[in-house]
Amino acid sequence: MKVLLTGGTGYIGSHTAVCLMQSGHEPVLFDNLSNSKKDVVQAIARITGKEPAFVEGDIRSKTLLEDVLRRHEIDAVIHFAGLKAVGESCEKPLLYYDNNIAGTVCLLEAMKACAVGKLIFSSSSTVYGTPSALPLTEDMPTGTPTNPYGRTKLMIEEILQDLCRADPGFSAVCLRYFNPIGAHESGLIGEDPNGIPNNLLPYVARVASGKLEYVRVFGNDYPTPDGTGVRDYIHVVDLARGHVAALDYAQTHAGWEAVNLGTGRGTSVLEMIAAFEKACGKKLPYRILPRRAGDIAANWCSPEKAHRLLGWKAQYGVEEMCASSWKFEQLHS
């Protein structure tokens, strides 16, 4: 299949491009490079032996999207493009609603105009809000997300449900990610955000390489075993494999589906720091800071539906996640 990847040069998009190419699909990467770099395209070529097509553009440009969909004869879309920092979304909610919601509507209108009826959406576990019970399963109610970023993900899920009701032939699979970390085994691609990282692991990696002074731990008074936040961390390559499985599913199934992608195990911030210390062979300084707005205490999923529906299971553990992140950081320091 020819697959358009919005946000295709980003962290998850680039790893998914590799998995798609290794599965015989042909990705076209579409990105405005606001939080990624174009040299990722060459890195993908080094891994796969072939350079994927790349178009620089914004998902709010419907005309450009229509042109790309037609010119590349796209069969399906994997929609990663979106702003994703929880803290920033609390400070700049309008930016998030414009980029994430208006951008998605533009994309869907372009897809409709070009008769492309298959979409895999990069959703998030934040749609569950503060969990009433753990592990989270897809039949649990989507709660009230604790931040505008999460609300945009939930709103897009609801837009896609409405679209599938109106157009029974449309296929929309919403993959609810838990916490993607790690890097490709080659060390050529990984999480490399512009500026100071918002996510834990790239921040820890930069402390390990001496670029940052200490790891910031936001809160140690949560109702968890060590007081720090607990999350379901998933290796980005496992996550990428999940998108290929979802694409295969969408080829033969119409309608809306939500699927959790996680390992089903929770790891605390302090446990993750300890695992990274093992990977890099040194102690890492950290400081306890006040809780961060919009964060919750604990979050992990049941990945049973992904196994049943998509035939997918996570293969990597926290040790591999940290080791691959450290390799990527060393190669890019």
Which residues does the annotation mark as catalytic? 149
Structure tokens that stand for 90 in this block: 């609390």
Q: Return d(Cα 185, Cα 19) in angstroms, integer.
A: 13
CA of 9: how far to CAs of 17, 170, 243, 298, in Å?
9, 26, 15, 30
Q: Return d(Cα 26, Cα 165) in angstroms, integer.
A: 29
Which bin fits 269, alpha (ψ -120 to 50), beta or left (φ > 0)?
alpha
Among candidate residues 329, 75, 52, 53, the one with its CA nearest the CA of residue 212: 329
Strand-pair partners of 219: none
Omega of the bond leading into 197 within 30 degrees of 0 (cis): no
- Amino acid 270 reads L
- Which residues lie below 8 Å from residue 94, measured CB to CB, with a gap of 6+? none
Place of tokens 């208006």: 102
- CA diameter of the chain: 56
DSSP states along 231-290: E-EEEHHHHHHHHHHHHHHHHH--EEEEEEES-S--EEHHHHHHHHHHHHTS---EEEEP
Which bin fits 193, alpha (ψ -120 to 50), beta or left (φ > 0)?
beta
The helix (run of H) or strand (run of E) holding residue 6 is strand 2-6
- Which residues lie below 8 Å from residue 333, measured CB to CB, with a gap of 6+? 209, 211
